[in-house]
Structure 1
Amino acid sequence: MPKLRKGFTLVELLVVIAIIGILVGLLLPAVQAAREAARRMQCSNNVKQLGLAVHNYESSYKKVSRLATWVDKGLGMQQSNWNGYSAHVGLLPFIEQQPLFNQFTFTFYHYDNVVAGPVTAANTPLVLGRVRIAGFLCPSDRDFPSSTDTGQNNYAMSEGNNVGWNPPTGSQTGFWKRNLDTKFGDVSDGLSNTFMLAEFVKGDNTTAVLTNMGDFAFGIAFPSGFNVVNPTQAQIDAYGALTQAAGANHRPSAGFRWAAPGFYNTAINTIAPPNWRFPAGMICAGCGQGDSQGVFPARSRHTGGVIHGMGDGSVQFISQNVNLQSYQALGSAIMGDIAQVEN
C-alpha cells in the first residue's frame, strides 16, 4: 500500500501563505477605510454637539459666547491684562462640563497659575485648562506631543473671511468676533449659509521641520496690497510662499490649549481654503499663540476635505478643492455674499 502523507509539502505551505498574504493585502485597506469612516463620523458628531451647545448658550443668554473675553488684571495675577478665555470655556455647561466650568475664576487670565482669592493650587486657570475633554478632540488626529497634558483641542470658531484677531474697524465679518457679542439675528447672511466652526490639526511640538499641518510661521508680513477681507487667490498664494520659506521661524503648537483664545488655539479664519497647501502664518514676530492677524485655515486628517459646522447647527464636509470665493462667502456672516455649500 502507498505510504500516507502526514503533512503539507513545502510548496503547498508556500502557496497557502501566499494566498493568506493576498487576502490580508486585500482586506487591510478595507479595514483601515472602515476605521477612518468611524473616526470621521465621531468627528462629525463632535462638531454637531458643539454647534448644539452654541445654540443652547444663545437660547439661554440671547447671544453666543465670546471668541475672546477681556480680563482685568487683579487678585495678584502674574500676567498682564489680556484676552481671558476662549468661547469653549463658556460652552462647558452645555457639553456636560458644568462642574469644571464652576471652578473657573474669570478675573484671572487663562495661563495664570497664581494662588489668590478664591483660586487654589488645584483650580488655577492653568491647571483647569489642561483637562482633557473628549468632545474637543478629533479621533483622526494624533495627540499633541508633550510631557504634560496641555488641554488639547481640534475644533475652532470661525472668524470668517478676514485676517482676524485685531482687525481694522468694520472688518470683523465672520460669525465670531473678538471682544464683541454676536446674536443669531446679527448673521444677516443666514445661519445655514455661514460657517460657525471647523476642525484643525494639532502641532507636532517640534520646530525641526516646518509643515502645513499644525505649524504656523510668525513674523510674516502681508504683501503690499493684501486685502484684509476676501484676499484673492493670487494674494493668498503669495503669502503662502512667504510662510513656506519661514524655516525655523514657526510655532508647532496648534491645538495645545482649549481654554485660550487666539488662532490655532480655538479660532480659524476662512480666507484660505481648507487643507491649504501652505503653512499658516501670522504677521507678528513677538506675539503669543496666534494672537495676531494672519492666515489660519481649517485643516483635517480626513481625506479630501474638512468638517465644518454651520450656524444652523448642521454639519458639512467641505472639499479642499472648493472654489475660494464661495468658501470665503460661507465664512462671511454679514456681507450679503451668500453661497451654497460645495461638497
Structure 2
Amino acid sequence: MLIVKQNRNTNQPRRPGFTLIELLVVIAIIAILIALLLPAVQQAREAARRSECKNNLKQMLLGLHNYHDQHSVFPPGGVAPQCAGNPPVNLSGIQECTTPFVAAAGLNWALQILPMVDQGPLWGEVKRIVDTKIDPLDAMNNVFGHYSPSMYRCPSHPWDNRANVAFRALENMSRGNYAASYGNGTLLQSMTVNANRGAFTISSRISARDFTDGMSNSVALSEVIYVVGNTADARGAWVFPGMGASAFSTGRGPNDRTADILASCANTTNEPCTQISTTSDQGPTIAAPRSYHTGGVHVGMADGAIRFISENIDRTVFSNLGTIAGGEIIGEF
C-alpha cells in the first residue's frame, strides 16, 4: 500500500508574539515611565498632606477664637495652680509666676480648646480629672497617654505607632505636631519680659486688645516635630505645657539648625537639641518650630490666617512675629 506524505503548508502565517529583545525594550520603557511618574505621585500625596496639615491649624485657630468669644481671653499656654513658693509678677495686669514651670502645671491651650474642636467627650474626661483634685498633669497623661486626636497630628510627620513616650515616671505623653507661641525668647524671658512675650505663656490671660502689634503680625500656632520612638524626647507632647512640647519660640527660625535647649530631648540631624542638666528650672529652655515639609513650616497667625514661612525668612522678622506687643515694624514676609 502506497502512503503519500502530505507536506505542511509552508504559506501558513506564523503566530504573532514578542521576541526577547522586544520584551526587554517594553519593560525598560515601562520602568522609565514609572520612574517619571513616582515623584509626581509623591508630590501629589505630600500636597494632600500639607493641605490637611493647614486645615488642622485652621480648625485649632477657630477653636482659639471660639474660646475667646466665650471667655473674652485666649486660653493660657498652661495653668500653674501655684507659683512654687514664689510670688507672681504683674505684667500689664496679668498675674504670672516668676517660676516658669511647676510640676502641677497643666490644662494647657490644647486641652482647653477641646470642646471648641468637637472633642466634648475628651474635655469631659479632663474636667473629671481636674474635679478630683489630683495633680492634673500626671493624671491626664496617664489617661491620654495612648491617644492623640487626629487634628493634633500632621500627616507629613512619621507617626509613632506606640503613640507614647515617657520622660517622667508617671507620664506617658502622646505626641502631636502643633504648638503655641510663648514669644521670641527663652521660656523665662517670654514669661517675664514684656518685649519677649507671646500670646500663650503660663497662666496668661491675653485678649484681642493686647495684640498692639496687630493680630495679623503675631504668630499664634506653628508646627513642631519630635523624635519617633525615643523615650527621652519630650517634644510634641500635646498635653504638656512646656517649651518644645506644646510651645515654641520664634527666637529660633523655622527648621533651625541651631539646637533646641530642653530639659529632656534627643539630638538628631532633623531634631537638633541640647539637654540641660536639670529639670527643676525650665527657664533657659527654647525650641524652634519645625516640620517635615520641604522648605519651611506652616504657622497660624492670631487673626486666623495660615501662612507658610520659608526657612530663609529673615531671622529678625520671624523673631518679631512671635511677640504681641513688642512695637516692631514688620514688613512683607
Q: TM-score, normalised by structure 1?
A: 0.76
Verify: 1:66 aligned to 2:88, yes or no: no
Q: Kindly tell me: are residues 49 and 165 of structure 1, through their superposed partners in 2, closer, same or farther at Cα, counting changes over 3 Å?
A: farther
Q: Which of 310, 335, 342 is 2:326 aligned to?
A: 335
Compare CA radii of gyration and give the structure with the larger one: 2
Per the alignment, in what secondary structure is the counterpart of residue 309 of structure 1? strand
Query: Letter of the aligned partner of 2:220 in structure 1?
Result: M
The aligned counterpart of 1:258 is 238
The aligned counterpart of 1:37 is 47
The aligned counterpart of 2:209 is 185
The aligned counterpart of 1:132 is 148
Verify: 1:112 aligned to 2:138, yes or no: yes
Q: Which of 289, 310, 326 is 1:319 aligned to?
A: 310
Q: Structure 1 unaligned runs (5+)?
A: 74-79, 114-123, 208-250
User: Can you list the C-alpha shifts for 1:261-293, whole angstroms capped at 9, x where unaligned?
Assistant: 1012100000011000133113742217x9442
User: Can you list the C-alpha shifts for 1:213-268, whole angstroms capped at 9, x where unaligned?
Assistant: xxxxxxxxxxxxxxxxxxxxxxxxxxxxxxxxxxxxxx43321x321110121000
Per the alignment, in what secondary structure is the counterpart of residue 268 of structure 1? strand
Q: Which of 285, 292, 296 is 2:287 aligned to?
A: 296
Please state how far the C-alpha of 1:341 moved relative to its aligned partner.
Answer: 4.8
Per the alignment, in what secondary structure is the counterpart of residue 28 of structure 2? helix
Asked whether the 8 Å contact 1:273–1:327 carries over to 2, the reply is yes
Structure having the larger proportion of residues in strand: 2
Q: Kindly tell me: are residues 84 and 2 of structure 1, through their superposed partners in 2, closer, same or farther at Cα, counting changes over 3 Å?
A: same
Verify: 1:281 aligned to 2:242, yes or no: no
Number of equivalences: 281
Query: Letter of the aligned partner of 1:193 in structure 2?
Result: N
Query: Hey, what's the Cα distance between the residues in 1 that align with 2:251 and 2:41?
Result: 36
Per the alignment, in what secondary structure is the counterpart of residue 187 of structure 2? coil
The aligned counterpart of 1:159 is 182
Query: Hey, what's the Cα distance between the residues in 2 that align with 1:108 and 1:125?
Result: 12
Query: Letter of the aligned partner of 1:82 in structure 2?
Result: A
Query: Hey, what's the Cα distance between the residues in 2 that align with 1:315 and 1:36?
Result: 18
Query: Letter of the aligned partner of 1:334 in structure 2?
Result: A
Query: Letter of the aligned partner of 1:58 in structure 2?
Result: H
Query: Hey, what's the Cα distance between the residues in 2 that align with 1:168 and 1:49?
Result: 27
Per the alignment, in what secondary structure is the counterpart of residue 27 of structure 2? helix
User: Can you list the C-alpha shifts for 1:284-339, whole angstroms capped at 9, x where unaligned?
Assistant: 42217x94422301000001000000000000000000001111111111011131
Per the alignment, in what secondary structure is the counterpart of residue 138 of structure 2? coil
The aligned counterpart of 2:121 is 99
The aligned counterpart of 1:225 is none
Asked whether the 8 Å contact 1:166–1:178 carries over to 2, the reply is no
RMSD: 2.4
Query: Letter of the aligned partner of 2:151 in structure 1?
Result: G
Query: Letter of the aligned partner of 1:139 in structure 2?
Result: P
The aligned counterpart of 1:54 is 64
Query: Larger deviation: 22-31 or 1-10?
Result: 1-10
The share of aligned pairs that are identical, in percent, is 34
Q: Structure 2 unaligned runs (5+)?
A: 1-10, 84-101, 165-171, 263-274
Q: Kindly tell me: are residues 327 and 29 of structure 1, through their superposed partners in 2, closer, same or farther at Cα, counting changes over 3 Å?
A: same
